[in-house]
Structure 1
Amino acid sequence: MKTKIFLYLFIFTALISLYLFVSSGKMAAAKDDKIIALQDEVAVLKDSVQKSQLSVLDMQYFSLQNNDDALAYYDHLAIEDPTRYISDKLLETNEKSGDNPLIPYEGMESDFKINRIKLLNHKWIIADFSDGKYWGELLIKYELKDDLGVDFTMMDHLLYTRSQ
């Protein structure tokens, strides 16, 4: 009787061992497949990040912040962030009542005001303006003086027409 119990115990243990061996092999294969799929996904994401970084670098090409030659133009002035300073000075022109004096159009829905500003270099700005319904863009020439005053001159402009 003892031998039969040991025989059944041995067979039962062998079956459990066989089951564990087969299932662990399948689990390892499944994990390997998952690892390969994740590696492929990581490669795709790396490519996507690289494309995004190149796109950002392209967008930053015409920017005062990334133009060392243009920033050197302001070295003699005590301005920590010339981009911020000039943008603030341009936005101050919005504070006057009525349309912004740099915008050559009269607002149709309300007053035209400058919304977004991009300093291209130490001489030019491109700006977006809107009255809430109609919008356009300005090319502005500016000069930062030694007394930290800023003169703005509108060089060109456009107003987008609304297609209906």
Structure 2
Amino acid sequence: MKSKIFLYLFVFAALIVLYQFVSANNMQKSLNANVEKLNTEITGLKDSLQQTQLKILDMQYFSLENNDDALAYYDHLNLKDPVRYIEDKLLETNEKKGNNPLVPYDGMESDFKINKIKVLNHKWLLADFSDGKYWGDLVIKYELKDDLGVDFTLMDHLLYTRSN
């Protein structure tokens, strides 16, 4: 009787060990599958990040901030951020009552004002204008003088028409 109890205990212990082994093996397979899945996702994210960085570099190609030759044009002025300075001067033209003087159109819903600016180099910039409903783009030539005055000259313009 005593030997049967030990036999049953031994069989019971062996079943528990077998259960633990199978359970741990299944858990290990599941963890390995999760690691592989995460590695695949990380690789995809790295590729996506690299593509995004290339797009950003491509978008920054035409910008004063990344054009050392154009920035050298302003070295003697000791401006910390010439792009911001030029943008601020252009936005000051919005402060006049009525349409912005650089926008060659009369506002239809309200006055046309310049919204967004992209300084391309030491001579040109692009600007977006809107009256809240209608919008357009401007190509502006500018000159930053030694006395830090800025002259703006409209080169070309475009007003988008709405097609309903």
TM-score of Structure 1 vs Structure 2, range by shorter chain:
over 0.9
Partner of 1:141: 141
Map 1:71-110 onto structure 2 (within 5 A): 71-110=71-110
Q: Give the paired residue count.
A: 164
Query: What's 2:30 paired with?
Result: 30
Amino acid at match of 2:38: L
Residue 157 of structure 2 aligns to which amino acid in structure 1?
A: H
RMSD: 0.9
Q: Which runs of 5+ in 2 are unaligned?
A: none
Cα distance in 1 for residues equivalent to 2:80 and 2:2: 91
Aligned position for 2:9 = 9
TM-score, scaled relative to structure 1: 0.97
Offset of residue 50 of structure 1: 0.8
- Match of residue 68 from structure 1: 68
> Which string of whole-angstrom CA distances, capped at 9 and with x for unpartnered residues, describes residues 77-114 of structure 1?
12110000000000000000000000100111100000
Query: Which deviates more from structure 2 when the two are superposed, residues 154-163 or residues 37-46?
Result: 37-46
Deviation of 1:5 after TM superposition, in Å, equals 2.5
- Please state how far the C-alpha of 1:3 moved relative to its aligned partner: 2.6
The one-character-per-residue Cα deviations of 1:39-90 (angstroms, maximum 9, x if unpaired) are 1111111111111111111111100111111111111012110000000000
Residue 115 of structure 1: CA displacement?
0.2
Distance, in Å, in 2 between the alignment partners of 1:67 and 1:13 is 76
Q: What TM-score do you get using the length of structure 2 for normalisation?
A: 0.97
Identity %: 72
**AA aligned opposite 1:140:** I
Equivalent residue, structure 2, for 1:46: 46
Which position in structure 1 is the counterpart of 2:155?
155
Deviation at 1:134, TM superposition (A): 0.5
* CA deviation profile, 1:1-47 (whole Å, cap 9, x unmatched): 43333222211110000011111111111111111111111111111
Q: Which runs of 5+ in 1 are unaligned?
A: none
